[in-house]
Amino acid sequence: MDHQIDLVVMQSTPFCNIACKYCYLPDRSSTQKMSLTTLRNVFSRVFESGWVRDRFTVVWHAGEPMTLGPAYYDAAFSLIESLRPRDIAIQHSFQTNGTLINQEWCDFIRRTGLKIGVSIDGPQPIHDKFRVLRDGKGSFQRTMQGINLLRQNGIDFSVIAVLTKCSLLAPDQLYDFFAGHNIERLSFNVEEIEGVNRTSSITPDDAYDLYWNFLNYFWERLLAERKRISQREFEEAFACIVRPDASSMLNSQTTPFRMLNVDVRGNFSTFSPEFLGQSDPRYGNFCFGNLNNVTLESALSNPIYLKLNEDIQRGVDKCRAECQYFSVCGGGAPVNKLNENGSLATSETLFCRLTKMVPIDLALALLENDVNLRADDQRENADAPGMMRAPDPAQLAGSEA
């Protein structure tokens, strides 16, 4: 098989300076940091493998990357740059809680072109309910200070908001918050049962309806107000649905080595990055060796990799056979199958229902609503705000080849 890495998830440190109540990371009190020797070995192996082509992204994650300070990444980026073949481009990216952003970080971000995603869950009462500092106090003010500093420095950023039950019940508050703060790129991650987070504020019984109502409200206001918010779930859903027959889906969590995941010690894995730090009697620690000692290619004969891949592909086959959404998904998220269903060789999860089925169902409903409205020539308010009247078909015929 011809492998191609698109994303390298690097755990420069497992440490996080805050203590979100829904966090899935098991070692977030550990202050280890990846040595530059390990870093050199990791990227030497990556480039030697021939599994990276043209460009790929490195996301520094699975801990709060900013706890290490800009000097660490100055050295790390320089080292990687010294190893990088000239015909391959790298985009570095942080997902951060934003609480440590200062002017030194802003200078670093501007100098290096680092892409920034900030995690903020909405207005202060909602954000502070789960995203707390280690002393238990809310982190909202410090995150907003970081966001304001990014803005003052003209630094573009995206936002991920984790949706808990209290935020799903307050779509108006979240919309007003994100629109009011002119957040231009917004993603939603629904709270998951994953890793050390063994419970969720969202129960399977109410999850679908809660999220449906939330997204429905949010998207309708987006459509009605024409806000310049790129909302990831909206865009992904339409991108998945409105595409030609000849296209097919790539699921990066079920395709071996589309994502390369490396922990702080240099241990490596693939498929769902959340496997890092977890263990299971069937798959050990989900790692295929340490890149200080072995090559990437050695994974292909590693028993853990072979077993993991076999079971994940069995799960994909099950999805293909059973799931109405397979053409817009490609086989689900392995880590959620294991954590929710207890087996990789399974199909539907709550995570599927929320992250795929709800957005796809809603986008389908919006499209069907649209085509049905257009078909009704007698509709009185066809030119009302939000409607774009279709041109005369005769005009379109003139544009055909």
Partner 1 sequence: MTQADRYRYLFRVWASRGLLGAAGLTASASNALAVPISGVQSTVMNRATVAERLNLIRSAVTEASRAAKAMPVPDETEIAQWMNWGNWGNFWNKPWYNFGNWGNF
Listed ranges 35-43, 79-87, 114-122, 143-151: which one lies at the site for partner 1 (CB under 8 A): 114-122
Which of these, 90, 227, 106, lies nearest to 157 by C-alpha position?
A: 106
Q: How far is the CB of 17 from partner 1 (least distance, A)?
A: 18
Here's the x/- map for partner 1, 334-373, by CB under 8 A: it reads as ---------------------xxx--xxxxxxxxxxxxxx
Listed ranges 45-53, 102-110, 121-129, 231-239: which one lies at the site for partner 1 (CB under 8 A): 231-239
CB of 115 or CB of 151, closer to partner 1: 115
CB of 75 or CB of 371, closer to partner 1: 371
* 197 and 23 Cβ atoms separated by less than 8 Å: yes
Helix spans in 122-245 (H) = 124-130, 140-152, 165-168, 171-180, 204-225, 232-241
Q: Does 15 help bind partner 1 (rule: CB under 8 A)?
A: no
Here's the x/- map for partner 1, 197-226, by CB under 8 A: it reads as -----------xx--x---x---x-xxx-x
CB of 135 or CB of 242, closer to partner 1: 242
CB of 159 or CB of 291, closer to partner 1: 159
Residue with tokens 């199958």: 337
For residue 346, what are its two tokens? 């399974």
Here's the x/- map for partner 1, 22-41, by CB under 8 A: it reads as --------------------
Binding residues among 162-201 for partner 1 as defined by CB under 8 A? 185, 187, 189
Question: Which H/E stretch holds residue 70?
Answer: helix 70-83
Listed ranges 93-101, 147-155, 280-288, 304-312: which one lies at the site for partner 1 (CB under 8 A): 93-101
Q: Does 306 help bind partner 1 (rule: CB under 8 A)?
A: no
- Of 276, 333, 338, 350, the residue at the interface with partner 1 (CB under 8 A) is 333
Q: Does 385 help bind partner 1 (rule: CB under 8 A)?
A: yes
Which of these, 242, 254, 237, 250, lies nearest to 358 by C-alpha position?
A: 237
Q: What is the CA radius of gyration of the chain?
A: 22
In this structure, is the dihedral angle defined by the CA atoms of residues 35, 37, 40 and 46, taken in order, positive or negative? negative
* C-alpha to C-alpha distance for 386 and 38, rounded to whole angstroms: 54
Angle at 377 between CA 376 and CA 378, to 5 degrees: 90
Q: At what angle do helices 204-225 and 171-180 cross, to 10 degrees?
A: 40
Q: How far is the CB of 362 from partner 1 (least distance, A)?
A: 7
Helix spans in 242-392 (H) = 303-322, 334-336, 350-352, 358-375
- Of 236, 285, 290, 320, the residue at the interface with partner 1 (CB under 8 A) is 236
- Of 21, 53, 243, 282, the residue at the interface with partner 1 (CB under 8 A) is 243
